């Protein structure tokens, strides 16, 4: 019996070894995206890079990651749709 596999679909697979670290909730790639899309400021991002460049499992790195994650979550944005409209924003409305 042969199976003619034409393709495979994966949901959120790890495509790089640094994406699947168990010591952190969001990978460095997520945090890079948070910065590039304006969810975190440059100062905080630079602090993250200086603390986490060598050891992402250090206490200092985990502390700054937790701060970044808390800031991101406070926006009410959806991690799977960063560019989508936020129906329930947790930040003050500017309109």
pTM over 0.85: no
Question: Per-residue pLDDT for the chain (95 aa), expressed as one digit of tens each?
Answer: 888 888 887 776 677 666 666 555 677 888 998 999 889 999 999 999 999 888 888 899 989 999 999 998 888 888 878 877 765 555 555 44
Distance between CA atoms of residues 79 and 58, nearest Å: 24
Distance between CA atoms of residues 45 and 31, nearest Å: 8
Cα 47–chain centre separation? 16
């Amino acid at each position: 019996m042969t199976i003619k596999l034409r393709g495979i679909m994966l949901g959120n697979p790890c495509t790089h070894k640094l994406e699947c670290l168990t010591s952190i909730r969001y990978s460095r790639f997520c945090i890079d995206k948070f910065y590039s899309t304006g969810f975190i400021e440059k100062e905080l991002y630079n602090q993250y890079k200086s603390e986490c460049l060598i050891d992402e499992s250090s206490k200092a790195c985990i502390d700054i990651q937790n701060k970044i994650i808390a800031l991101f979550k406070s926006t009410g944005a959806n991690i799977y749709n960063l560019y989508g409209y936020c129906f329930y924003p947790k930040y003050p409305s500017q309109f």
